[in-house]
C-alpha cells in the first residue's frame, strides 16, 4: 500500500469510511476523515479508534485497504 493510495482515499469527498488491513492480521477502521492524521513524510498514519485510543501505523505494514459498503459517512444537506 502506498502513501498516495491512502491519501487519495482519506481525502476523497464525499468521505467513505475504510479499513486498513495490517500484515499481522489486524485491521483498523477509519470512520471519519478527522480520525486519521498522516505524518508529513507520509509513511506513518495515526488513527483515533475510540475515545482516547490511537493506533500508530507504518504504511509499509498495510497489506490492503477496503472501503466500507453503503453511503458516504458525511450527511447530505436537505
Residue 63, in any domain of the structure: yes
Residue 73, in any domain of the structure: no
Residue 78, in any domain of the structure: no
Q: How far apart are CA 78 and CA 62, in angstroms?
A: 38
What residues make up the domain containing 53?
3-67
Count how many domains the chain has: 1
Residue 75, in any domain of the structure: no
Mean pLDDT score of the chain? 89
**pLDDT(2) > 60:** yes
pLDDT in tens, 25-47: 999 999 999 999 999 998 999 99
Nearest-CA neighbor of 62 among 40, 38, 32, 35?
Answer: 38
CATH number of residue 12's parent domain: 2.30.30
- Of the chain, the percentage scoring pLDDT greater than 90 comes to 78
Q: What global pTM score does this model have?
A: 0.84
- pLDDT at position 15 is 95
Amino acid at each position: 500500500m502506498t502513501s498516495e493510495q491512502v491519501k487519495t482515499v482519506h481525502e476523497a469527498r464525499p468521505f467513505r469510511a475504510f479499513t486498513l488491513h495490517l500484515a499481522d492480521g489486524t485491521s483498523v477502521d477509519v470512520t471519519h476523515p478527522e480520525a486519521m492524521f498522516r505524518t508529513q513524510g507520509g509513511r506513518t498514519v495515526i488513527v483515533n479508534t475510540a475515545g482516547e485510543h490511537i493506533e500508530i501505523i507504518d504504511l509499509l505494514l498495510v497489506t490492503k485497504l477496503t472501503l466500507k459498503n453503503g453511503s458516504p459517512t458525511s450527511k447530505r444537506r436537505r
